[in-house]
Structure 1
Amino acid sequence: MVVFFRRSSLPILALAILIAHAAIEPVASQAQPRPNNKYGQTDDFRQIDQWLPTPNKYRSASGMPGPEYWQQRADYKIDVRLDDQNQKITGSETIHYHNHAPEPLGFLWIQLDQNIFEPGSDAIATATAPNLSDRASFNTIRSLLARESFEGGFKIHGVTDAEGGPLKYTIVKTMMRIDLPTPLPPGESTTVKIRFDYLINDSKLIHARTGYEFFEKDGNYIYEIAHWYPRVAAFTDYEGWQNKQFLGRGEFTLELGDFEVRITAPEDHIVAATGVLQNGEEVLTETQRERLEKAKTAKEPVFVVTPEEALKNQKDRSKQDKTWVYHAENVRDFAWASSRKFIWDAQGHDQNENPVMAMSYYPNEAEPLWSKYSTHAIIHTLDVYSRYTFDYPYPIAISVNGPVYGMEYPMICFNGPRPEEDKTYTARTKYGLISVIIHEVGHNYFPMIVNSDERQWTWMDEGLNTFLQYLAEQEWEEDYPSKRGEPEDITGYMRSSGQVPIMTNSESILQFGSNAYGKPATALNILRETILGRELFDFAFREYARRWKFKRPTPADFFRTMEDASGVDLDWFWNGWFYSTDHVDLAIRDVKLYQIDSSDPDEEAERKRQEKDKRRPSLSAERNEPLQKRIDLFPGLKDFYNDFDELEVTEDSRKAFQKFVESLNAEEKQLIRRKTNFYVLTFENVGGLVMPIIAEIRYTDGSKQMLEIPAEIWRTNNKTVSKLVITDKELDRIELDPRHQLADTDASNNFYPPRIVPSRFKLYKDKKSSNPMRKANEAKKKSDADKGKESSEEEAAEKKPVAKAETAKPAAASKPAPQPATAEAAE
């Protein structure tokens, strides 16, 4: 039978027609657009396999390492000396290189990343002019001049083989090619030795991932030393030799190996480094060794070097040196820090039966913030990250405060935030410190262990790490002020003109933080919460981390593993979020209501009368109402139609309807009397990035319904789609993305009926800001001073005159305060 529908008049955003869409030919994506013959659209559901490397015996289609996967290895033995008088590094290294590739190598490429500081380096030559104006600080000018005049870069004093025979080498900017006497066959190894030195950069003038900080008040330095030795470049199955020059932004891709490093520094320096200290009995005092042993089972961080001892160290200047020996296994890099200013605290942590020593090094200028939070943040990071990936495999995890604000290396990271000189700090500084430590310690997982190529794909370490950082921050405390991870935090970037695809080389990204950190982290959060759900996502993400632990994944391996382990085709998601610059902006374009028309003439007439009564007359009709009508002056003009009621139901109509009803079966009779609402909701994809449609429908009876439609609804038309909602209830309003989970960039079109989304502005006067902690301290000091004044006045008034002065007794010798065992006690 035919069921008749009638459409009620509702306030609507625009007109639309409910249509059945025919199947259409697949179309192209943002990366390689191909027109759709029917709609002229791009195909946001086109499979991305055609852009990914073809699976082979090294890397499988499932995203796993292939049966013949290989990677190179480089082991290092290094002797290095820190010249504290001239801020200089002098060293010699022995590299034992293992060729696991299925092809012979005629030469080795070595990274000379310190050459970025050479005058005329590509980094300096290609740097665009800063935004100068008619005002500039002295430090700005000093920095500009320093970058032009600093004699940085490696000085290579010899390259030889294992027996000391010279090897030919050629320096190409930040790379060096060492020609081997004979090609190195597959499965064989070779040894090269390099002697080098270089000047360390002043981080205040030349900000970088390494450098020194000078403290004018006490004349001391903190050194944070990174990319300090010539490092073998990566040789991979997907690229061969890594040959992208170091320009500063694209970080590093290196081979895993074992390190034995001897660091010679001034005798009164404390040295922190990648790896395990081998000669503690030689370089540490008995007290320091006892404290370290106590720290292994402590419930709170224990001072190994106390703040008082650090102050003494920075005053006493020894002219002697001592050598710290560190050993690290299966790491891709080695970094270290040295200073006589260091306070040192430590706490042992059991990471699922793997004992880890979490340690922090910082000057007194960092107190009280660092002793309170740094080591705790390290341990918290290991706990959370290990739960989502794999157990932390190293025995050491270190956070160092110095000139480098935030940079990561195996087992050690450099972090910057400090309180102000009066020891107060803002909430921004506190949470900035916790966040940067979580982030940099978290880099042990990505890319230090899951060894991705930072020089090419920044998002593979920064984005994945920022995502896990967000999870760790949210487990630190309720309402933790995370800066990245929540979908609504990335909307400004996603609708900006400076956006480039995530799949962009590191050096070509425009808004680096938003593109390489914020957007991929947000994408993964949405994938976890909205697309896959936590259980599926967590399993797949953990599978990726474990598959590629101590191996070298590419983006294709990540994409394929996430699909393989979740069982969900996510090509549309990678396409939109990683390959395109589309943004999320879904809109409610139209709402229509259809109801079953029973064809009962009496019901139809009554409905029309009610609609007529509700219809407000036009302005002209209202004003014409009192006018004298001609038909009232001449009644003879009236005829049949003046008394005719077009809504009056005739008996013939009733009989016809009754005959129609009698022709129906029992089910059909119930259908025509059913009071069901058929709402057609039409949605528009304004931003171009297809996403699930998440909408909350509220009904007039106060109930609500969550409409969750997978992104595949857009597969045949990625501009406009309609969804039918059948209900006996009356719709009151609809809201798209009510829980802010889609990164929708424009909330103004998310409501039916339309709603005004307010913006606010505040009036203010320019004033110098002060942190809340300082204000509270100042208020307390004033209150204590007032109370002390009142007490002194009362004592003076009550004090009686004394006839004879008594001889003052010597005060009892005061005992030194017990040394606090933990950072909390020190507070």
Structure 2
Amino acid sequence: MRFYSKLITLIFCGYFFNTNAQDVNPNNQNKFDDIGYRRSSVYRSASGVPGPEYWQNRADYVIEAELDDTNNTVTGKLTMTYYNNSPETLDYIWMYVEQNRFTEDSRGTLTTPIEGNRYSGDTNGGITISNVSAKTKGTPSSKHLISDTRMQVFFNQPVKAKGGKATVSMNFTFKIPIAGMDRMGQLETNKGIIYSIAQWYPRVAVFDDVVGWNTEPYLGAGEFYLEYGDFDYKVTVPYDHIVVGSGELVNAKEVLTKTQQQRLEQAENSDKTVFIVNPQEAGNKTITRPVQSGKLTWHFKMKNTRDVAFASSKSFIWDAARINLPQGKKALAQSVYPNEDEGDSAWGRSTEYTKTSIEHYSEMWYPYPYSNAVNVASNVGGMEYPGLSFCGAPSAGMELWEVTDHEFGHNWFPMIVGSNERRYAWMDEGFNTFINYYSSAAFNNGEYKGDISMARKQVRWFRSPYRESIATYPDVAQSRNLGFTAYYKPADGLIMLREYILGHERFDNAFRAYIKTWAFKHPQPSDFYNCMENVAGENLNWFWRGWFINNDNIDLGISGVRETDGASIITFTNKGEIPMPVVFKITYADNSTEEKRLPVEVWQRSNEWDYLVSSAKEIKSVTIDPGNFIPDINLADNYWSKE
């Protein structure tokens, strides 16, 4: 109490304030304040980990489907077991029927510009649903409602909270689109069509503690948000097709010749690529099929995954090699492609790329959890599903490496870390692009010259008046901006955190903790922010706000260097909206150098800071960000030279 009495006396005596002063010197506290509501709850902890009562629901699927290559259709029956772990009873569930995107009056079609874009697709499709049965106990309900790409299924008796279970079954059929919005479809090849099949069965939507049912329509750019579960699925195809799919093929003896079975076993023990079906055999039904007529059913299983996809064709070359995982575990990299795309300059290296990519991410971030990783030469330019990717068949060389590496990187984001892609594309595309930079830099002793200091090359976009924030939903972002808002800018942000702000050890500890903590769970942006800050031990509100939420820019500068009393003073300025630490290199007249660092807190009170260099040596030049990691929008004042 005595201290406060003296403080009040001093204030009234004018000790702290000059009553004649008219100017107020503003500080920058608003740039460092908390962002949003990030406090703890029983479901999500302020430390960035799931809370003591965190829950998420689950769905297991059994599916039997048939691909008709005469009518180009998929017909199937689905049985889903749904587990309600939430604290609420559920009278209904929502499911996605995303094949309805391929109709003339779908929301996605009607919101696609008439000149078209990447997400243009066929409009003569849609899915037909029949024999719906939804049961908890007692009499099953057939009541359901389809609205665009969503389907509401009602129960006669609600699904109980905290452990209730329901069974939902139905039949479905759809026409396989030729142009499947760059996510699925058909590719004509010399020896037959390659069918890339995805979003092919009704999938349950996520019910979470944040918004309840996540029912955003499937428009195109926004991808997926799905529950985890076990899949047991069978695909019946003409006898002369090869089928690859997410998960493990469990009936190889029924669908492969003895020679193919032996080759598959050889590949499982080989670091070099082994042909299961070689280029001379591809499309030759008398050599590569165990039967010579009718149909074959391929049976796959996959545990604890959010989705499955598959591909089928008469034309496939098929090769594979072993993936070496941490702690002595193994998986199998596989590729399928047509004859016209074979060769060491093209898809002949696909399995090498797949294997190397997955080994890198498993070692650096988190072990790959699946038994197989399959790369499919497709009409799709690049699209990921758990354990399986569709990549453009014409891709070759560095282009094929980059798309393969990117699509398999998605097995970490969002397949392992199950974020909401439909709202927060940056949490999967951006994080994946970030890890891609390091994978490319490491690949084959720099064969493709991966560069982690790419942000400087994107300054033109950062200066654009038409740019948008990372926080912009993917279906809202302008097409010209989506690559930056979802991919490049968030990746640049993580590179800055690792290379410029936190350093490798602190960043890696935090990022690995985020992946491990939220593996097979549903993190929100605030969970990512909280986890990174708590593990790294750094308040990063200023960075999340400026880089990830707002649409701000970085503009550091050097306004001058002056000598004084056997030392020198460097004056730095912050002209941008984002405060940043200042990493700078001093070069002295004798050509010796020093690298120094000022913490971000120098910008808390003002936008100018003097730094004393306690050296009598003459300064020749000063360079901000010598590693070129920050996309400063005005590089002209980042370098000072006495000359």
TM-score (norm 2): 0.91
Choose which of 674, 692, 695 in structure 1 pairs with 2:581. 692
Give the Cα–Cα distance (whole angstroms) in 1 for the partners of residues 556 and 53 of structure 2.
Answer: 46
Q: How does 1:118-137 map to 2 (within 5 A)?
A: 118-130=103-115
Q: Which residue of 2 aligns with 1:590?
A: 560
Determine helix, strand or coil for the equivalent of 2:428. Answer: helix
Q: CA deviation at 1:574?
A: 1.1
1:313–1:341 contact (8 Å) kept in structure 2: no
2:358–2:409 contact (8 Å) kept in structure 1: yes
Q: 1:555-611 CA distances to partner (integer Å, 9 max, x unpaired)? A: 11111111111111111111121012122221212333333xxxxxxxxxxxxxxxx
Q: 1:247-278 CA distances to partner (integer Å, 9 max, x unpaired)? A: 10110000000111110111110000011111
Determine helix, strand or coil for the equivalent of 2:456. Answer: helix
Q: Which residue of 2 aligns with 1:296?
A: 268
Q: Which residue of 1 aligns with 2:307?
A: 333
Q: Which residue of 2 aligns with 1:172?
A: 147
1:695–1:706 contact (8 Å) kept in structure 2: yes
Moved more, 90-99 or 510-519: 510-519
Q: CA deviation at 1:130?
A: 1.9
Q: Which residue of 2 aligns with 1:749?
A: 637
2:322–2:330 contact (8 Å) kept in structure 1: yes
AA matched with 2:464: S
Q: Which residue of 2 aligns with 1:622?
A: none
Q: CA deviation at 1:703?
A: 2.2
The runs of 5 or more residues in structure 2 that have no matched partner are: 1-15, 18-22
Choose which of 597, 607, 622 in structure 2 pairs with 1:734. 622
Give the Cα–Cα distance (whole angstroms) in 2 for the partners of residues 131 and 244 of structure 1.
Answer: 22
Choose which of 342, 353, 371 in structure 2 pairs with 1:395. 371
Determine helix, strand or coil for the equivalent of 1:445. Answer: helix
Give the Cα–Cα distance (whole angstroms) in 2 for the partners of residues 283 and 489 of structure 1.
Answer: 50
Q: Which residue of 2 aligns with 1:577?
A: 547
Inter-CA distance 483–178: structure 2 relative to 1 (3 Å threshold): farther
AA matched with 1:751: Y
Q: Which residue of 2 aligns with 1:523?
A: 493
2:472–2:485 contact (8 Å) kept in structure 1: no
Give the Cα–Cα distance (whole angstroms) in 2 for the partners of residues 545 and 502 of structure 1.
Answer: 21
Q: Which residue of 2 aligns with 1:409?
A: 385
Q: Which residue of 2 aligns with 1:346?
A: 320
Q: Which residue of 1 aligns with 2:211?
A: 239
Q: CA deviation at 1:394?
A: 1.2
In the alignment, does 2:247 pair up with 1:359?
no
Give the Cα–Cα distance (whole angstroms) in 2 for the partners of residues 374 and 400 of structure 1.
Answer: 9
Q: Which residue of 2 aligns with 1:55?
A: 40
Q: CA deviation at 1:119?
A: 1.0
Q: CA deviation at 1:96?
A: 0.6
Q: How does 1:65-76 map to 2 (within 5 A)?
A: 65-76=50-61
Q: CA deviation at 1:319?
A: 5.7
Q: Which residue of 2 aligns with 1:18?
A: none
AA matched with 2:125: G
1:314–1:341 contact (8 Å) kept in structure 2: no
RMSD: 2.5
AA matched with 1:728: A
2:196–2:390 contact (8 Å) kept in structure 1: yes
In the alignment, does 2:394 pair up with 1:430?
no
In the alignment, does 2:70 pair up with 1:101?
no
Q: 1:750-798 CA distances to partner (integer Å, 9 max, x unpaired)? A: 222489xxxxxxxxxxxxxxxxxxxxxxxxxxxxxxxxxxxxxxxxxxx
Determine helix, strand or coil for the equivalent of 1:584. Answer: coil
Q: CA deviation at 1:316?
A: 10
Choose which of 184, 202, 212 in structure 2 pairs with 1:210. 184
Give the Cα–Cα distance (whole angstroms) in 2 for the partners of residues 91 and 247 of structure 1.
Answer: 24
Q: CA deviation at 1:166?
A: 4.5
Give the Cα–Cα distance (whole angstroms) in 2 for the partners of residues 130 and 52 of structure 1.
Answer: 41
Q: CA deviation at 1:522?
A: 1.2
Give the Cα–Cα distance (whole angstroms) in 2 for the partners of residues 263 and 417 of structure 1.
Answer: 23
Q: Which residue of 2 aligns with 1:468?
A: 435
Give the Cα–Cα distance (whole angstroms) in 1 for the partners of residues 599 and 447 of structure 2.
Answer: 30
AA matched with 2:472: T
Choose which of 213, 237, 248 in structure 2 pairs with 1:265. 237
2:29–2:605 contact (8 Å) kept in structure 1: no
Q: Which residue of 1 aligns with 2:421?
A: 454
Q: Which residue of 2 aligns with 1:195?
A: 171
Q: 1:272-317 CA distances to partner (integer Å, 9 max, x unpaired)? A: 0011111111111111001011111113011001111114249999
Give the Cα–Cα distance (whole angstroms) in 2 for the partners of residues 38 and 341 of structure 1.
Answer: 73
Inter-CA distance 53–115: structure 2 relative to 1 (3 Å threshold): farther
AA matched with 2:331: V
Q: CA deviation at 1:486?
A: 2.7
Moved more, 475-484 or 288-297: 475-484
Q: CA deviation at 1:461?
A: 0.8
> Greater share of strand residues, 1 or 2?
2
AA matched with 2:432: N
Inter-CA distance 319–117: structure 2 relative to 1 (3 Å threshold): farther
Determine helix, strand or coil for the equivalent of 2:509. Answer: helix
Inter-CA distance 41–479: structure 2 relative to 1 (3 Å threshold): farther
Q: Which residue of 1 aligns with 2:354?
A: 378
Determine helix, strand or coil for the equivalent of 1:562. Answer: helix
Inter-CA distance 448–435: structure 2 relative to 1 (3 Å threshold): same
Rg larger for: 1
Give the Cα–Cα distance (whole angstroms) in 2 for the partners of residues 350 and 391 of structure 1.
Answer: 10
Q: CA deviation at 1:380?
A: 1.3
Q: CA deviation at 1:737?
A: 2.1
Q: 1:176-200 CA distances to partner (integer Å, 9 max, x unpaired)? A: 1011111111111000111111111
Give the Cα–Cα distance (whole angstroms) in 1 for the partners of residues 394 and 113 of structure 2.
Answer: 31
In the alignment, does 2:30 pair up with 1:43?
yes
Q: CA deviation at 1:349?
A: 2.4
1:90–1:196 contact (8 Å) kept in structure 2: yes
